[in-house]
């Protein structure tokens, strides 16, 4: 018995050393690479200018929900000048990354399904290294980690999971759709308790914004989303970037939305297609939610996580907006799913997303100047097209996995089985 305990303790220490060493090594590579991409840090400079403008009573960063700006204000208070502010943003993002990595590493060190935990941890450190500068120069990791936290807690304490999701919704608008995954049988108090905790977290942060900044600050991000064209990196823009590479009738141009959009014949039709496809995604969410609402059995956590991933991927691939940092929306969720749910479907999704992260960093920042200066270069168009095709494949796999899990959930209810946590 004593020997077994010693071996177990040694195994945990070895696991801790391996996970810590691999995290430090991959993050050093990622930070080194990111700091060499000077054009990437324009966003951080924009953040600092916005925080400084707010400090003297001006309106700035209005495209971001106020809850997203709060960490930037804190960093601005604690630092002075661009260099120290940049360091503060990097440290904040690495702390978010470390929080998820520590949870994964602890599962690698002991407990059930250690093999799945190692798959999840390996995915996350490789994904984080390959996604590059957007990991530490943008704040999109914040809602991603919050959604991952909700995915962890949904099988343990659903009310805490709902609070995580509520904060994520206040930080970024897209997790609003995931609230449909909190719905269970309408006769069950747990359903309404989860929704109340979710809404309460949003309301608390909205009231804070209302008191400190006014109503205009609460609604400003909503108006910003309406006034956007077809961003050049979206899946629907793929045919147009090929046309722009060979014909001056189409172009990739910096727009008032502060992003590069495609212009030319057919773009308006693509925007309509995006709207119709997004409506289809919304209707799908309504169908799944209604079905769960009318059932008698509690939702299975594995089905909820699978549904969340499929939904956020569908939102991204049908949207008129797609930036490199959007991969951080679902990367943390995939890591949690691999660690908790395991199986070939989640691991396959993880492998493809690691490749997609590498292609994304190859495109931005390495090839981006060749994409936006004059006609897009052929290499940049090919790399972006491959990334978009991979995103489409991942979305199909995620939808298939969600379907399998939701069907299993229905069968478990019919058989009278209790939900797995």
At residue 159 the predicted structure's pLDDT band, cuts being 50, 70 and 90, is very high
Tens digit of pLDDT for each residue in 52-108?
Answer: 999 998 999 998 999 999 999 999 999 999 999 999 999 999 999 999 999 999 999
Ramachandran area for residue 203 (φ above 0: left; ψ -120 to 50: alpha; else beta): alpha
3-state secondary structure of 251: strand
d(CA 69, CA 59): 12
Tell whether the model's pLDDT for residue 20 goes beyond 60: yes
Distance of CA 45 to the CA centre of its chain: 23
At residue 320 the predicted structure's pLDDT band, cuts being 50, 70 and 90, is very high
Whole-number average pLDDT of the chain: 93
What is the model's pLDDT at position 7?
44
What is the model's pLDDT at position 204?
97
Residues counted in the chain: 421
- DSSP code per residue over 363-399: IIIITHHHHHSSSPPHHHHHHHHHHHHHHHHHHHHHH
Q: Are 23 and 124 in contact (CB under 8 A)?
A: no
Q: Are 202 and 291 in contact (CB under 8 A)?
A: no
Is the whole-model pTM more than 0.85? yes
Tokens for 54? 């707010």
Residue with tokens 């925080």: 51
Cα angle 256, 261, 266; round to 5:
120
CA torsion 400-322-172-220 (nearest 10°) is: -140
Give the phi and the psi of residue 298 in degrees, each rounded to 5: -70, 145
At residue 224 the predicted structure's pLDDT band, cuts being 50, 70 and 90, is low
At residue 225 the predicted structure's pLDDT band, cuts being 50, 70 and 90, is low
d(CA 154, CA 152): 6
Check residue 80 and report its DSSP letter. Answer: -
């Amino acid at each position: 018995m004593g020997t077994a305990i010693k071996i177990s303790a040694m195994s945990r220490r070895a696991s801790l050393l391996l996970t810590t060493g691999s995290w430090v090594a991959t993050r050093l590579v990622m930070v080194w690479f990111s700091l060499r991409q000077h054009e990437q840090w324009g966003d951080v400079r924009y953040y600092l200018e916005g925080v400084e403008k707010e400090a003297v009573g001006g309106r700035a960063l209005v495209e971001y929900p106020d809850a997203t700006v709060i960490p930037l204000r804190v960093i601005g208070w604690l630092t002075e000048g661009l260099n120290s502010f940049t360091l503060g943003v990097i440290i904040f993002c690495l702390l978010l990354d470390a929080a998820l990595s520590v949870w994964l590493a602890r599962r690698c060190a002991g407990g059930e399904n250690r093999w799945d935990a190692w798959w999840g941890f390996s995915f996350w450190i490789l994904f984080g290294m390959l996604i590059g500068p957007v990991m530490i120069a943008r704040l999109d990791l914040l809602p991603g980690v919050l959604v991952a936290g909700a995915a962890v807690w949904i099988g343990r304490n659903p009310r805490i999971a709902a609070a995580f999701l509520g904060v994520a919704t206040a930080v970024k608008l897209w997790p609003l759709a995931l609230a449909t995954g909190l719905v269970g049988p309408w006769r069950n108090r747990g359903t309404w308790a989860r929704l109340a905790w979710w809404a309460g977290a949003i309301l608390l942060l909205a009231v804070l914004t209302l008191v400190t900044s006014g109503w205009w600050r609460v609604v400003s991000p909503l108006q910003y989303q309406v006034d956007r064209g077809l961003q050049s990196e979206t899946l629907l823009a793929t045919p147009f970037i090929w046309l722009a590479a060979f014909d001056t009738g189409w172009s990739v141009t910096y727009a008032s939305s502060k992003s590069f959009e495609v212009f030319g014949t057919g773009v308006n039709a693509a925007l309509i297609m995006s709207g119709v496809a997004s409506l289809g995604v919304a209707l799908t969410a309504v169908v799944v939610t209604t079905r769960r609402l009318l059932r008698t059995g509690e939702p299975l956590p594995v089905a909820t996580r699978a549904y969340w991933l499929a939904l956020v991927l569908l939102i991204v691939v049908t949207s008129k907006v797609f930036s490199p940092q959007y991969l951080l929306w679902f990367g943390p969720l995939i890591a949690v799913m691999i660690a908790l749910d395991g199986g070939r479907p989640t691991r396959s999704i993880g492998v493809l997303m690691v490749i997609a992260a590498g292609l994304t960093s190859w495109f931005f920042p390495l090839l981006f100047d060749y994409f936006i200066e004059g006609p897009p270069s052929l290499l940049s168009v090919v790399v972006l097209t491959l990334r978009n095709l991979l995103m489409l494949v991942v979305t199909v796999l995620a939808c298939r996995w969600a379907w399998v899990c939701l069907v299993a959930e229905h069968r478990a209810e019919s058989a009278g089985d209790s939900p797995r946590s």
